[in-house]
């Protein structure tokens, strides 16, 4: 019997979430999404490796229509990913319209199909400025819609909604996570670029300035 379905990208946030709830003894299945972002291949390899090591059932759902029909610089079909701070206006070009809503809807239907009562997503308060589908008012309305739309069988939970990415990094270090096995960089190259908004935020989260960040950055 599965307790929880986790939306698991292989990034640092959802990896910390996986480690956290596994530590609480829950039965978990992981669902990853390949939506055609530049960094999907890197992320998904991290997710698959984690699940193999922890013997977690893991499925990768392909959503090729997002890359074909949607506009975003995060996608292989989009313009270049901008450099700069995560909080800058130009980072809004990386929004994939309603991405979290799409992933959560699919995860909700899958959870109902296998009798799991909850879906977990590791979105956090640092995402609010850029991504509207990470904000509290979205989380609340969407959770209600899923609970109603599944005949009150599935709840959506956002355990990190009141934490920022550094809180998550700190929790991950407490849990003993090797962050070199997680992927963040939006550009999806051989190593983390160190200059895109996502790398900028990762450095903040993992306390790069204090020497705690084990990531190998290009810059």
Which residues in this chain contact a second copy in the complex, by CB under 8 A?
Answer: 59, 61-62, 65-66, 69-72, 96-102, 104-106, 108-110, 112-113, 132-133, 135, 137-138, 141-142, 144-146, 148-152, 154
Nearer to a second copy, 153 or 195 (CB): 153
Residue 199 labeled ligand binder: yes
Q: How many CB atoms lie within 10 A of CB 14?
A: 26
Cα–Cα distance, 112 to 5 (Å, whole number):
10
- In the complex, the smallest distance separating the C-beta of residue 66 from a second copy, rounded to whole angstroms, is 7
Nearer to a second copy, 104 or 168 (CB): 104
Nearer to a second copy, 110 or 183 (CB): 110
Q: How many CB atoms lie within 10 A of CB 203?
A: 19
Residue 18 labeled ligand binder: yes
- In the complex, the smallest distance separating the C-beta of residue 64 from a second copy, rounded to whole angstroms, is 8
Report residue 98: phi and psi, to 5°: 55, 30
For every residue of 93-139, DSSP letters joined together read: GG--TTHHHHHHHHHHHHHHHHT--EEE----GGGTTT-GGGSHHHH
Report residue 196: phi and psi, to 5°: -75, 170
Residue 11 labeled ligand binder: yes
- In the complex, the smallest distance separating the C-beta of residue 114 from a second copy, rounded to whole angstroms, is 8
């Amino acid at each position: 019997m599965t307790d929880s379905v986790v939306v698991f990208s292989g990034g640092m946030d959802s990896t910390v979430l996986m480690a956290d709830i596994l530590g609480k003894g829950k039965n978990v299945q992981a669902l990853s999404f390949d939506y055609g972002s530049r960094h999907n291949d890197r992320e998904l390899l991290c997710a698959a490796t984690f699940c193999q090591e922890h013997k977690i059932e893991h499925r990768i759902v392909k959503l090729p229509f997002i890359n074909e029909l949607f506009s975003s610089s995060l996608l292989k079909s989009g313009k270049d990913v901008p450099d700069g701070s995560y909080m800058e206006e130009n980072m809004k070009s990386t929004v994939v319209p309603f991405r979290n809503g799409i992933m959560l809807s699919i995860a909700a239907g899958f959870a109902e199909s296998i009798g799991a009562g909850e879906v977990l997503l590791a979105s956090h308060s640092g995402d609010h400025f850029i991504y509207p589908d990470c904000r509290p008012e979205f989380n609340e309305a969407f959770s209600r819609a899923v609970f109603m739309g599944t005949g009150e069988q599935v709840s959506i939970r956002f355990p990190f909604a009141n934490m920022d990415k550094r809180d998550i990094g700190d929790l991950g270090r407490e849990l003993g996570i090797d962050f070199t096995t997680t992927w963040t960089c939006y550009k999806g190259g051989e190593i983390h670029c160190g200059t895109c908004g996502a790398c900028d935020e990762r450095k903040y989260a993992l306390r790069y300035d204090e020497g705690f960040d084990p990531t190998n950055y290009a810059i």
